[in-house]
A = this chain, B = another copy of it.
């Protein structure tokens, strides 16, 4: 039976990517060797790393003066890396608090200096993206999409000359067009729209580096990794290879502008049903709703067992909400087909018919 994979991450990847990744683990391009038993400095793997980095630049129209890295440690190490490379010693960094991931980023930044949380939606349990005015701090950090609460920035902040904008885009990178020139640092764990768990991608404006006045440990120093073309140490070979395959898939599909249309269509279908169906209630405020993660709950919690039985029977996987807010979460990352959203919507309609 076909599965409809709404998992929040690690999440669905395109079927041909899974097939090609499996083939490469068995044997890479008729080489007699597996992808995972060759040197990372061999020609075949250097070509993989180069193509992965080039695809990021091509798909996001990354301008001159930026470098792309594939490293390890996920966004959780990225929180610390971001602060080490951009939080100037003795100055106060601005952070927007939109939930769990922002809070973790703030915690790591505080180890290195003062942090001013300039906006937060914590008082309403992070059900929206808070607004904020002009930024007077040397740097600002945002989390563009919150997977747990289902909120997403609908427009990006624009800072002045010399101010640094950092964004954790782990859960919506490659889902919509971006103006990279607005950012000094973008980082994103691979395991949503880019590939499997095990690598984190950084897009770095190189001229913004080296200005914090602090000694940076080697692994946390983005300049070290740039100097070594993401090969300062042994890279996570399988995760980089599979990310490259996923980026190739996205390019063949028509790129980010095209996938954005798919994502908007999926989100429209999903939220229309949540709003229409009296048996469900959305969690996030309408103007902050994420195109990646739709969060909702039953109007009547006592029907949960019935609803769970129905979506499980339809082959739907990963629909349970995060333990911190409960309810349901339909994660609709790039590789999820519209057809899967339709299956879920049909289950919701059938649930209304039988239990409304």
Partner of A26, one of B7, B22, B39, B108: B22
A80 and B5 within 8 A (CB): no
Q: Are A18 and B37 in contact (CB under 8 A)?
A: yes
Contact B198 A239 (CB under 8 A): yes
A270 on the B face (CB < 8 A)? no
9 interchain residue pairs of minimum CB distance: A198-B236, A76-B233, A36-B196, A72-B72, A22-B25, A22-B26, A3-B32, A77-B219, A22-B22
Supply 8 further A-B pairs (C-beta < 8 A) apart from A10-B38, A72-B236, A238-B238.
A1-B32, A3-B32, A5-B37, A18-B25, A111-B215, A197-B234, A198-B236, A238-B239
In Å, the complex CA distance between A73 and B220 comes to 10
Query: What separation, in Å, do the CA atoms of A2 and B236 have in the docked complex?
Result: 26
Closest CB of chain B to A17's CB: distance in Å?
Answer: 9
Q: Tell me the residues in window 6-34 of chain A with beta carbons closer than 8 Å to chain B beta carbons.
A: 7-13, 18-19, 21-23, 25-26, 31-34
With both beta carbons as reference points, the residue of chain B lying nearest to A323 in the complex is identified as B41
Q: How far is the CA of A191 from the CA of B218 in the complex (A)?
A: 21
Residues in B whose Cβ lies below 8 Å from that of A5: 33, 37
Q: Which residues of A contact B (CB under 8 A)?
A: 1-3, 5, 7-13, 18-19, 21-23, 25-26, 31-34, 36-40, 72-77, 79-80, 104, 107-108, 111, 189, 191, 196-199, 215, 217-220, 232-239, 242, 315, 317-318
Chain B residues near A242 (CB-CB < 8 A): 36, 238
**Complex contacts, A238 vs chain B, CB 8 Å:** 196-198, 238-239, 242
Partner of A7, one of B8, B39, B72: B39
Instruction: Find out whether the CB atom of B239 lies under 8 angstroms from the CB atom of A236.
Output: yes
Chain B residues closer than 8 Å to A80, beta-carbon distance: 217-220
Q: A25-B22, A33-B317, A237-B196 are in contact. Are A76 and B232 (CB under 8 A)?
A: yes
Chain B residue with the shortest CB-CB distance to A80 = B217
- A72 to B39 Cα, complex, angstroms: 19
Partner of A11, one of B11, B19, B37, B189: B37
Taking the closest CB of chain B, its distance from the CB of A230, in whole angstroms, is 12
State in angstroms the CA–CA spacing of A257 and B148 once bound together.
47
Most B Cβ at <10 Å: residue of A3, A13, A234: A234
Instruction: Report A89 CB to chain B, min CB distance, Å.
Output: 15
B contact residues around A2 at 8 Å (CB) = 32
- Known contacts A72-B77, A232-B76; is-contact A237 B37 (Cβ 8 Å): no
Smallest CB–CB gap between A324 and chain B, Å?
A: 13
Q: Are B237's CB and A10's CB within 8 A?
A: yes
A217 touches B25 (CB 8 A): no
- Interface contact A76-B39, CB-CB below 8 Å: no
Contact B196 A10 (CB under 8 A): no
Return chain B residues, CB-CB under 8 Å to A7. 37-39
Residues of B within 8 A of A199 (CB): 198
A247 → chain B, closest Cβ, in Å?
15
A107 to B74, CA, bound (A): 24
